[in-house]
A = this chain, B = another copy of it.
Amino acid sequence: MKAKIYIKYKEGILDPQGTVTNKALKSIDIKGIESIGIGKYIEMEFDKNISKDDAKKIAEESCKKMLANPNTETYSYIIED
């Protein structure tokens, strides 16, 4: 059982890393991108005995209590077998 967790900045929060990355892409002639937002992608592998419901609870609690900054970030996740 595995969770794939996606964390990104909330709308309206400045993302300087994304802005600079877009500039860097333009500088090597990759064009057509309006904006880039850079967040975290976390793969969480669970112990063998963990059920799908448990996995959901653990992923939710991990995001809420540690992985995402509630002031500036939003998170979502999917659970996979």
Contact = CB atoms under 8 A, between A and B. Distances in A.
A7 B42 CA distance: 10
A14 interface: no
Interface string A35-71: 1111111111111111000110010011001110000
A49 B62 CA distance: 40
A13 interface: no
Interface of A: 6-8, 18, 21, 24-25, 28, 30-50, 54-55, 58, 61-62, 65-67
B33 A37 contact: no
B46 A34 contact: yes
A58 B39 contact: no
